[in-house]
Structure 1
């Protein structure tokens, strides 16, 4: 005897797999990417505005124009933010792009160390957690 509940709802294997996929570490990585992207956007806007928030250091191995770095952080922050939003859809390409963008963001924040050391180290750590969360093994069974 079959129940009416199993006849009423068709099997949606793809949809349930996506729901299981967008859980746990992927959500964690998405939230961190959105936060890290927003913080990079704010740092970029602050550097572009020539605000007194950042100190321009001398005699550092990596000397760059502060306004130029502001644009780099602004653009990278927007892309990281959008990739974090895409992770909620469960797309595999978003995970791959997320790992690449988190690595690129880590590198940009390493070069940002002379301008905001504590902030750069915090964002490097966040991006490290993003890479770890996106590369963590997943349980495909819901």
Structure 2
């Protein structure tokens, strides 16, 4: 089963968790490398920008997912759209045990930042206070 690292609205208790029908993998995780994490646009969408070495380690959760659940996540993240997220493999570290695993994650290439409004830069963690600002695509 694929393992998916979620850092934003797909986390347990967050706005798009209903799409995440995976089984939570033990512990909390952070990306091994640093990445910028932003709230973007009027929807305040969380973007992990694929600029390795910039920003902070990004905290999140890891889920074991079936191929069907992964396909649902891919649809939500619009991976085939020009302005959608890109699905990448990257290493994350368990904050409790220090174990490192390679997972799938959704991020945005840095060039996508050129035509968007960054509302806030986050220090490596998307929290419930940020989720309160989020507006789903269907709500606009």
Q: TM-score range by the shorter chain?
A: under 0.3
Question: Who wins on radius of gyration, i.e. which is larger?
Answer: 1
Higher strand share: 2
Could you tell me the TM-score, scaled by structure 2's length?
A: 0.25
> Between Structure 1 and Structure 2, which shows a larger proportion of helix residues?
1
TM-score by length of structure 1 reads 0.25
